[in-house]
């Protein structure tokens, strides 16, 4: 069982899928680890550190793919829609791929991946259960994004975050409003509070109130109730347009009174709901900042431009994507621990055991033997049910 770590090729990506500190655990479990030269350099992990921990370093990317049984990446083809296609010709039938695949994104890209006959696992689909918590890379990266979002917003805001009492008078604290109190939103609240801001948050899921308050934030309650607010995985369910229209009307006052608005309302596989309209932006004070963490799926702000920072009506609107790459050292470390836990779960008695009766394996397996085999993915794209799914 040889695990390969190719260099990430998405433009601007600085993370690496495995870091040197996890290599001994994998070696002890019977894996070998092969790393493409320079794969960890931009994250702060030079080749020599991998070698010291017992990994092998190969100069050529093609050599890594040709040598290993398992490829671990961060942005695989699917989530890497810019340069990821170059890897398709390097896969071998039966080779295992683990990483972010964006399984509810493009059916065409998933089918292209399936056509290579690679056995792929999508870390986005790791069940939200206690048993799988150590493998939850999506939450790990969301934590990094929530932290980084506040730092970027603070840098662009022409005010300081904390209250200061000085000889020049008292400076009032900045007001940060977070829309969407999932993992990313909660980390944004925590970071804003650490910097001294007054933080408030809104989420359509009632369970979020206690979590927001536990971090010292104020929970904004609106006199509307969502129907089936969250699914079995704990994610917000999409609502009808009449709900979102009423929601925007009620959120308008809070948005106008905020110095920073961070939006993080994302529904897996769906376009992000518009929660901040141009009218709301127009009502904000000049110099205010909106950071839209839902930009990759269209954005929660009506004026967001994916991947761009613009100024409209005196308000800076940041549509940043791939934000976790901005903290590559610890983002890589957290991701590597998640992937290591997943690999150790796959390995039983020194060999891989793809037991489809195991919920974690079954729910994360996306392609196998030339087919898209994940039931949730097939239902999402309205594909007919597969006749059988045998375990290995």
CA proximity to 113, closest of 137, 146, 135, 89: 89
**C-alpha to C-alpha distances, 60 to 57, 77, 123, nearest whole angstrom:** 9, 19, 26
What average pLDDT score do residues 23-28 get? 96
What average pLDDT score do residues 216-238 get? 72
Domain 143-321 CATH assignment equals 3.40.630.30: no
What average pLDDT score do residues 192-208 get? 93
- pLDDT tens string 115-124: 999 999 999 9
For the chain, state the CA radius of gyration: 22
Cβ(320)–Cβ(289) under 8 Å? no
**C-alpha to C-alpha distances, 152 to 266, 284, 316, nearest whole angstrom:** 20, 19, 11
CA proximity to 273, closest of 243, 305, 313, 250: 243
Backbone angles phi, psi at 352, to 5 degrees: -75, 140
Which residues carry out catalysis?
Answer: 128, 133, 136, 139, 235
Query: Going along 153-242, which residue ranges are E strands?
Result: 164-166, 169-171, 175-179, 198-202, 218-219
Number of residues that make up the chain: 392
Cβ(306)–Cβ(298) under 8 Å? yes
pLDDT at 223 over 80: no
What average pLDDT score do residues 231-251 get? 73
**What is the topology classification, in CATH, of domain 2-136+327-380?**
Rossmann fold (3.40.50)
What average pLDDT score do residues 22-26 get? 97
Q: What percent of the chain has pLDDT over 70?
A: 95
Residue 236's pLDDT band (boundaries 50, 70, 90)?
Answer: low
Q: At what angle do helices 328-346 and 137-156 cross, to 10 degrees?
A: 170
**314-318, 344-348, 381-385: range with highest mean pLDDT:** 314-318
Helices and strands (H and E) in the chain: how many: 12, 19
Query: What is the rounded CA–CA span in Å between residue 186 and residue 208?
Result: 9
**Is 121 exposed, middle or buried (CB count within 10 Å of its CB: 0-12, 13-18, 19+)?**
buried
pLDDT at 309 over 80: yes
Question: Which carries the bigger pLDDT value, residue 250 or residue 293?
Answer: 293
Q: Residue 237 has what pLDDT? A: 66
CATH 3.40.50.720 residue window(s) in the chain = 2-136+327-380, 143-321
Helix or strand (DSSP H, E) at 365? strand 365-368
Residue 228's pLDDT band (boundaries 50, 70, 90)?
Answer: low
Q: Euclidean distance between the first and final Cα of the chain, in Å? A: 16
Q: Residue 390 has what pLDDT? A: 46
Q: What is the DSSP string of 315-351?
A: EEEE---SGGGGSHHHHHHHHHHHHHHHHHHHEETTE
Residue 238's pLDDT band (boundaries 50, 70, 90)?
Answer: low
Question: Which carries the bigger pLDDT value, residue 274 or residue 392?
Answer: 274
pLDDT at 330 over 80: yes
Residue 221's pLDDT band (boundaries 50, 70, 90)?
Answer: confident
Average pLDDT of the chain? 93
Q: Residue 234 has what pLDDT? A: 58
Query: What is the rounded CA–CA span in Å between residue 94 and residue 121?
Result: 12
Q: Residue 207 has what pLDDT? A: 85
pLDDT at 11 over 90: yes
pLDDT at 211 over 50: yes
**C-alpha to C-alpha distances, 308 to 34, 141, 315, 366, nearest whole angstrom:** 36, 21, 14, 32
pLDDT at 232 over 70: no
Residue 378's pLDDT band (boundaries 50, 70, 90)?
Answer: very high
Q: In this structure, what DSSP letter does residue 71 have?
A: E
Residue 248's pLDDT band (boundaries 50, 70, 90)?
Answer: confident
CA proximity to 87, closest of 8, 3, 1, 2: 8
Q: Residue 270 has what pLDDT? A: 84
What average pLDDT score do residues 330-336 get? 98
- pLDDT tens string 74-94: 999 999 999 999 999 999 999
- pLDDT tens string 99-138: 999 999 999 999 999 999 999 999 999 999 999 999 999 9
Query: What is the rounded CA–CA span in Å between residue 47 and residue 37?
Result: 6
Q: Residue 240 has what pLDDT? A: 74
């Amino acid at each position: 069982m040889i695990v390969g770590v190719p260099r990430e090729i998405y433009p601007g990506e600085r993370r690496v899928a495995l870091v040197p500190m996890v290599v001994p655990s994998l070696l002890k479990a019977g894996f070998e680890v092969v790393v493409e030269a320079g794969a960890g350099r931009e994250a702060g992990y030079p080749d020599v550190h991998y070698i010291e921990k017992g990994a092998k370093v190969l100069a050529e990317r093609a050599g890594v793919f040709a040598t290993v049984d398992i490829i671990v990446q961060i942005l695989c083809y699917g989530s890497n829609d810019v340069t990821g296609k170059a890897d398709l010709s390097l896969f071998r039938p039966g080779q295992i791929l683990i990483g972010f695949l964006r399984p509810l994104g493009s059916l065409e890209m998933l089918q292209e991946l399936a056509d290579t006959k690679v056995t792929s696992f999508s870390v986005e689909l790791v069940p939200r259960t206690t048993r799988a918590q150590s493998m939850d890379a999506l939450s790990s990266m969301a934590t990094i994004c929530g932290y980084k979002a506040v730092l970027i917003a603070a840098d662009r805001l022409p005010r300081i975050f904390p209250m200061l009492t000085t000889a020049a008078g008292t400076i009032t604290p900045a007001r940060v409003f977070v829309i969407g109190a999932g993992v990313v939103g909660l980390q944004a609240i925590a970071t804003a509070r650490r910097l001294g801001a007054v933080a408030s948050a809104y989420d359509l899921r009632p369970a979020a109130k206690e979590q927001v308050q536990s971090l010292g934030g104020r929970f904004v309650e609106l006199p509307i109730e969502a129907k089936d607010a969250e699914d079995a995985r704990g994610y917000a369910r999409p609502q009808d347009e009449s709900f979102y229209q009423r929601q925007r009307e009620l959120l308008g006052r809070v948005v106008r009174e905020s110095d920073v608005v961070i939006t993080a309302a994302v529904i897996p596989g769906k376009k992000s709901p518009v929660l901040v309209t141009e009218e709301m932006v127009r009502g904000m004070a000049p110099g205010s900042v909106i950071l839209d963490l839902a930009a990759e799926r269209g954005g929660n702000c009506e004026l967001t431009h994916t991947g761009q920072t613009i100024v409209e009506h005196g308000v800076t609107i940041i549509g940043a994507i791939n934000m976790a790459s901005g903290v590559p050292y610890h983002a890589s470390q957290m991701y590597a621990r998640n992937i290591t836990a997943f690999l150790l779960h796959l390995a039983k008695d020194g060999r891989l055991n793809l037991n489809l009766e195991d919920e974690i394996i079954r729910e994360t397996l996306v392609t196998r033997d030339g087919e898209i085999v994940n039931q949730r993915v097939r239902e999402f794209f309205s594909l007919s049910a597969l006749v059988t799914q045998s375990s290995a």
